[in-house]
Chains A and B, each alone.
Chain A
Amino acid sequence: MTEQTTKQIAYKYWDEISEGEVLPRVEMAVPFEKVILDAAATQDYFPGHHNPAYAQHQGQKNIYLNTMAIEGFIDRVATDWAGPHTFIRKRAMNMRASIYAGDTMVGEGKVEKHYAQDERALVDISIMISTGSGPCVPAQLTLELPRK
């Protein structure tokens, strides 16, 4: 596959990016199947991710996505926008509310800083992951991108 044939894939270059730029919104449904697939895909069988009774024992209303699933979705919001040539240098996130089976999660982001450091072409972005219940996971990423 080449850049020419992957028409649906975006390739953003550092020089093309401006502070304040808004990232395209990414939405993904989280049915029960997705939460179970998450446990299997990440080898994380903590029962809050597959056992509704345990999740309720924890004070949660249902089984919920784990950290790795949310990390991957945050990274996808970044790379769907910037392209597969992005190297994620740093990702920080706070899980303020859980994302439950039955939710739809939405990722929205914005470019906060555009700069070069030690010859690296970097972009800081902020991303918020929300569900119908409101904001759940604010995240901050530093991306390294190629120059044009």
Chain B
Amino acid sequence: MTEEFTVPFPLEYGSYEDALKLVGVKGDPIHAEFTVNWEMIKVYCAMEEDPNPSYWDEEYATKQWGGIVAPPGLLLTWGMALQWHPDKNRQHYFVAMKIPLPGDTLINVATSTEFHRHLFLGDRLYAVDCLVQVSEEKRTRLGVGHFLTTRAEFTNQNSELIAVTTNDMFRYYVPEEKTPEENS
């Protein structure tokens, strides 16, 4: 490595036993910072190069769905934390980022989502998530750590179920003897 990153990603640190105590405990309810808005939908679809008129064409989307809808892949984005806020410390909203464990980094491994209805422009998303499982320490090609399984339920401002997600994340550290070249 020829360059150092300067600010470690803020995570909670602790032992496997500390993490186990949080299994089954619901995280704080998440009230999305962002209402569902066309501008963010367009930026996301530009990134995906997705021409789906459900996201771009008001006339088509109204006829098909009743209005412009949010791409399913933006589900998590509405509830992401801002980088700075005048009244709040920067913090993660989703529980997977707040589990005390030894690893200094993480990577998402698998995700499964069932969708029940669309999100429309102006909708506000709410989420409640929960740590379902923490694995014992595992060694993978990336490093040493624990797999976290979380489950989140997403509803709109009318308490209608939008989606249910189950997610597996690997919280780990890279052992000193391992180099990036060994991983490539």
A-side residues, CB < 8 A to B, are: 1-2, 6, 8-9, 28, 34, 37-38, 40-48, 51-54, 56-61, 66-69, 71-73, 75-76, 79-80, 84-85, 87-95, 98
Contacts and interface: CB of A to CB of B under 8 A. Distances in A.
Chain A facing B: main interface SS: mixed
Nearest to B79: A43
B180 A60 contact: yes
A95 B168 CA distance: 10
A87 B118 CA distance: 9
Nearest to A74: B73
B111 A71 contact: yes
Interface of B: 1, 3-5, 9, 34, 40, 43-54, 57, 59-60, 64, 71-77, 80, 82-83, 105, 107-115, 118, 141-143, 174, 178, 180, 183-184
Contact of A92 (B45, B73, B111): B111
Given A44-B77, A59-B180, A69-B47, 8 more contacts: A1-B53, A9-B53, A28-B48, A42-B76, A44-B76, A56-B3, A68-B76, A72-B48
Given A54-B5, A67-B111, A85 B44 contact: no
A99 to B, nearest CB: 12
Contacts of A51: 5
17 contacts: A1-B53, A2-B59, A6-B60, A41-B40, A41-B77, A42-B74, A53-B4, A54-B105, A58-B105, A59-B178, A60-B142, A67-B76, A76-B52, A84-B53, A84-B60, A91-B72, A92-B111
Nearest to A42: B77
A37 B57 CA distance: 22
Given A59-B178, A88-B115, A72 B64 contact: no
B180 A56 contact: yes
A115 B181 CA distance: 47
Contacts of A73: 48
A61 B183 contact: yes
Contacts of A1: 53, 57, 59-60
The 5 closest A-B CB pairs, nearest first, are A72-B73, A92-B112, A71-B73, A43-B80, A53-B3
A135 to B, nearest CB: 15
